[in-house]
Amino acid sequence: MNEKCLLGVIVIITLVIGVAATPILLLQLQLAIGYKWIAPLVQVATSGNKVYVVWDSDKTNTLKEILFRASTDNGKSFSDKINLSHSPKGLSELANIAASGNDVYVVWGDNKTGNMEIYFTKSTNDGKTFGNPI
């Protein structure tokens, strides 16, 4: 193998490892310096002309809540925010979202019981209302 080919293989391997390690490095950075320094994790799901957004918010700089907004016009306008976690004494974070038809599904982590647990809630009406988290 000639030197240029070997150099190309090394560069490709380095890029693949770098891309694969990026989420792990970001998580380690967040844990090391705290989330206040990193933008909140925002997740988006779509279904037809509907756009759903979920994120964690820490307006008090102490505790986080999971917030949600919906659009039924391809993101031209959005509904008012809905607090999905209602965890004033806990830390709610790392939400994820999925949608199918009129159904919206949201999961997140929350330590309101003293242990970090996974919570789930769903909407069957385009995110207008959600069931109690389980």
Query: How does DSSP assign 26-62, residue by residue?
Result: HHHHHHHH-GGGSPPPEEEEEETTEEEEEEEE-TTSS
Q: What ranges in the chain are assigned the alpha helix state H?
A: 3-33
Segment 32-48 mean pLDDT? 68
Residue 122 exposed, middle or buried by CB count within 10 Å (0-12, 13-18, 19+): middle
Q: How far apart, in whole angstroms, are the C-alpha atoms of residue 108 and residue 88?
A: 15
Map out the domains of the chain as residue ranges: 3-35, 39-123
pLDDT at residue 19, rounded to an integer: 44
Listed range (9-13, 52-56, 116-120) with the worst mean pLDDT: 9-13
Q: Given a cut of 50, is residue 100 above it in pLDDT?
A: yes
pLDDT of residue 58: 74
Is the pLDDT confidence value at 127 over 90? yes
Give the chain's mean pLDDT. Answer: 78
